[in-house]
Structure 1
Amino acid sequence: MSGNQEQYTLGYGPASTAMMATRTAQRHAAFLLPHLKPGMKVLDCGCGPGSLTIGLAEIVSPGEVIGTDLEESQLDLGRTEAARRGITNARFGRADIYELPFEDDSFDAIFISAVLANLREPLRGLNEARRVLRSGGVIGVKEFDHGGDLFYPVAPNLAEGLDLYHRLRRHNGHDPESGRKLLGLLQQAGFRDSAATAVYETFSGPEVMPQVGGVFAVLVNEAFAEPFQRLGWATPEAVQRIAQAWREFSQQPGAFYAQAWCEAVARK
């Protein structure tokens, strides 16, 4: 199955894109940074709106970072932001992770974040990444693991929405608990010296939670309402109850949300 046949569960609407654009290399790729050096050639595979690509480009300058994605609108955002910031060593191009348009041994390092969890064949994607990584090169992979997410308090409508979201991921052929499987996938793909860790991205407090609740409420309508209703899993009224549950959750005293991520580094 080629990558352009994959169904990206979150979609590319404003809420999803804005959420991805908040990720920085210093925070989201911190586990890989000790392995990067100036002058390296790096591939950011599945780069989204490019915030991580640009951050990595600053770190390996005067080296080069190439950000690839299937969605042209995301690549345009990356190009625009790089130009705005005067970053000249980051470039963006459309590519399928299953069929990367690069020669063997092209990159010193590869970064893959929140991509494998959106693939029906994650091992195939890693095999292709290994092909374009030079011998001795480093790969850093980061994936969410929704089986480890923490929410408090959880009202019934919020719980229903989370269950439907995980169900939709599985319907699309994607594993909502992919993070914990990274180490095994890297080993199956033939990488060596692999090591994995787990971290949480946490959200709490009255300054943060209303924004989080608002984004997820919009995301329910932006990305999930249509498939939930088309598949017969929820009525329009139920979808709105789920969206409202996110808003109400974020207003609760002591509301807490922690998203589980797994990170792994290995070498070819």
Structure 2
Amino acid sequence: MSSHPNVYSADHSSAVLRTHGWRTVSNSAAYLIPYLQPNMSILDVGCGPGSITVDFAQRVPQGRVIGIEYSGVPLCTARAMAADKGVANIDFQGGDIHALPFADNTFDVVHAHQVLQHVADPILAFQEMRRVAKTGGGIVAVRESVVPTWYPESPGLTKFWSVQEHMASVKGGNPHCGKYLHVWAREAGFERSQITCSTGSWCFSTPEERAYWGGSIKERILSSSFATNALEMNLATKDDLNMLSKAWRDWIDDENGWFSFLHGEVICRK
């Protein structure tokens, strides 16, 4: 394990894992689909509960997929998901993105989704992903959020994101780093001609989508490390947390409620 500190401002509570477990290749890595081949080897860095990782494995049936995660907590969920879906060409293990436990030129694809925003040294992380990607066509694919937006305007939601962003910054993360990815890729050793930039988005507007997204966040506000960190950092009081949770409940109940995340994406060819 490297000496870099863990700057992850969330935790692996059930509400957090439920949010992460919704992610698939289609809704979170669609920009990578045109490059996938059935026999590829893929490393999914910061795989969390493994929903994207398992999806990758199903898309490369003659290949091999490894999911790596700094914390071992969500890997039980990941392994159970793979077993439940009968996916055998997959492994999960612990490891640090700053010091990936693989030889140079190992993988056809190295993927990370909303991971660099949580690490202490994103340039080193990018360098490590580049190192383990195969020379002569290996891909490093990274997607990170840029900025959220929502309707209707809500002081509670504004306050929530202010606390969230401040909390991440204090711990050393960068919560909306999608606009830096192409710059970090250059600093990690890629040439500009090797980098393809794009954007993607999430949008939650139907009653079911609002219930999922808002429900997960209002639970995280009261029963995850968000609450603990906010109180310990004097970013919010218990009354504030109750107000923030109610703001999300109100958003869920608003038939005009709409929430969107823009993401920056890069495909880097080695």
Give the CA deviation at 1:4: 6.6
Q: Tell me if the contact between 1:3 and 1:96 (Cα under 8 Å) persists in the aligned partners.
A: no
C-alpha contact 2:65 2:91 (8 A) present in aligned 1: yes
Residue number among 230, 252, 255 corresponding to 2:254 in the alignment? 252
Cα drift, residue 163 of structure 1 = 0.7
Match of 2:97 in 1: 97
Amino acid at match of 1:11: D
Q: Aligned-residue CA RMSD in angstroms?
A: 1.5
Structure 2: segments with no counterpart, 5+ residues:
none
Task: Give 3-state SS (helix, strand or coil) of 2:30's partner.
Answer: coil
Q: Distance in 1 between matches of 2:234 and 2:210?
A: 31
Checking the alignment, whether the CA contact within 8 Å between 1:11 and 1:223 is kept in structure 2 is: yes
Identical pairs, percent: 30
Please report how far the alpha carbon of residue 80 of structure 1 lies from its aligned counterpart in structure 2 after TM superposition.
1.1
Whole-angstrom CA distance in 2 between matches of 1:211 and 1:64? 31
Q: How far is 1:33 from its partner?
A: 1.5
Mapping of 1:189-200 within 5 angstroms? 189-192=188-191, 193-200=194-201
Q: Which amino acid aligns with 2:246?
A: Q
Which segments of structure 1 move beyond 3 Å, counting only runs of 4 or more? 1-4
Q: In 2, Cα distance between the equivalents of 1:207 and 1:49?
A: 22
Paired letter, 1:174: G
Aligned to 2:133: 133
8 Å contact kept, 1:154–1:249: no
User: Aligned pair in 2 of structure 1 residues 3, 257: CA closer, same or farther (>3 Å)?
Assistant: farther
1-structure distance, mates of 2:67, 2:158: 35
Count of aligned residue pairs for this structure pair: 266
What is the TM-score with the length of structure 1 in the denominator?
0.95
Listed as ranges, the matches of 1:188-227 within 5 Å are 188-192=187-191, 193-221=194-222, 222-227=224-229
Q: Aligned equivalents of 1:249 and 1:4: distance in 2?
A: 38
CA deviation after TM superposition for structure 1 residue 107, in Å: 0.8
Measured after TM superposition, the shift of residue 27 of structure 1 is 2.5
Q: Relative to structure 2, which stretch is displaced further, 120-129 or 206-215?
A: 206-215
Using the TM superposition, give the Cα deviation of residue 206 of structure 1 relative to its aligned residue in structure 2, in angstroms. 2.5
Matched with 2:76 is 76
Aligned-partner Cα distance in 1 for 2:252–2:212: 8
Q: Distance in 2 between matches of 1:54 and 1:266?
A: 22
TM-score, structure 2 length as denominator?
0.94
Secondary structure at the counterpart of residue 98 of structure 2 = coil
Asked whether the 8 Å contact 2:4–2:120 carries over to 1, the reply is no
Deviation per residue, 1:111-162 (Å, 9 max, x gap) = 11111011121001011111111102011101112xx311111222221111
Counterparts in 2 of 1:55-74, with a 5 A limit? 55-74=55-74
* Distance in 2 of aligned mates of 1:199 and 1:258: 10
Contact 1:3 1:97 in 2 (8 A): no
Q: Contact conserved, 1:4 with 1:70, CA < 8 A, in 2?
A: no
SS at match of 2:240: helix
> Which residue does 1:156 correspond to in 2?
155
Question: Offset at 1:88?
Answer: 0.7
CA contact (8 A) 1:142 1:262 kept: yes
Secondary structure at the aligned position of 2:74 is classed as helix
Alignment match, 2:235 = 233
User: How many angstroms apart in 2 are the aligned matches of 1:189 and 1:46?
Assistant: 19
